[in-house]
């Protein structure tokens, strides 16, 4: 039996107030032998648009999966409180999803409310930068029959 592979990735998003695109992607990182990236929507996406930041974990190269295969992955997102160190974690505490070529990304449309995120005393946005952390556990791959 293969032991699950756990990776923690920290992404500092700088010059937040000047971000104008729909979304931003982190540099790729490796977990479980696959390349991943985080995708942040500063103005939200879908049900979170205009009220929340949305955050997703995305398989950077879905074509690297064998056809018909899927990866079972557990992920946990946090936004770091840079003042009090009382980090904001997603609720529920983690997501568990199957990543495949046709569905290479999963995440949260309502990761954190924009109003809460922007409150100076909360520490999530300090010196126009925020720090996002993702803990990614790749449990395994199911192969096509």
Over residues 63-103, the pLDDT tens digits come to 677 778 888 899 999 999 999 887 777 655 568 888 887 88
* Rounded Cα–Cα distance for residues 145 and 36 (Å): 26
The residue that leads in pLDDT, 133 or 104, is 133
Q: What's the chain's average pLDDT?
A: 87
The residue that leads in pLDDT, 45 or 100, is 45
pLDDT at 44: 94
pTM for this prediction = 0.87
CATH topology of domain 5-142: 2.60.210
* Rounded Cα–Cα distance for residues 102 and 82 (Å): 37
How many CB atoms are closer than 10 A to CB 109?
17
pLDDT at 136: 93
Are the beta carbons of 15 and 129 closer than 8 angstroms? yes
Question: Where are the domains positioned within the chain?
Answer: 5-142
The residue that leads in pLDDT, 2 or 65, is 65
pLDDT at 1: 42
Are the beta carbons of 110 and 56 closer than 8 angstroms? no
Averaged pLDDT for residues 95-123: 89
**Six token digits for residue 142:** 């199911």
Helix, strand, coil share (%) of the chain residues, nearest 5: 10, 50, 40
């Amino acid at each position: 039996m293969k032991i699950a592979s756990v990776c923690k990735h920290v992404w500092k998003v700088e010059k937040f107030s000047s971000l104008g695109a729909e979304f931003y992607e982190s540099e790729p990182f490796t977990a479980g032998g696959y390349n991943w990236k985080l995708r942040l929507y500063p103005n939200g996406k879908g049900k979170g648009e205009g009220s929340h930041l949305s955050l997703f974990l995305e398989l950077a190269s879905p074509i690297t999966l064998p056809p018909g295969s899927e990866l079972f992955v557990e992920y946990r997102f946090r936004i770091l409180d840079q003042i009090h160190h009382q980090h904001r974690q997603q609720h529920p505490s983690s997501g568990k999803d199957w990543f495949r070529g046709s569905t290479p990304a999963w995440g949260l449309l309502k990761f954190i409310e924009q109003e809460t995120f922007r409150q100076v005393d909360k520490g999530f946005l300090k010196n126009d930068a925020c720090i996002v952390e993702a803990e990614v556990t790749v449990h395994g791959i199911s192969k096509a029959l």
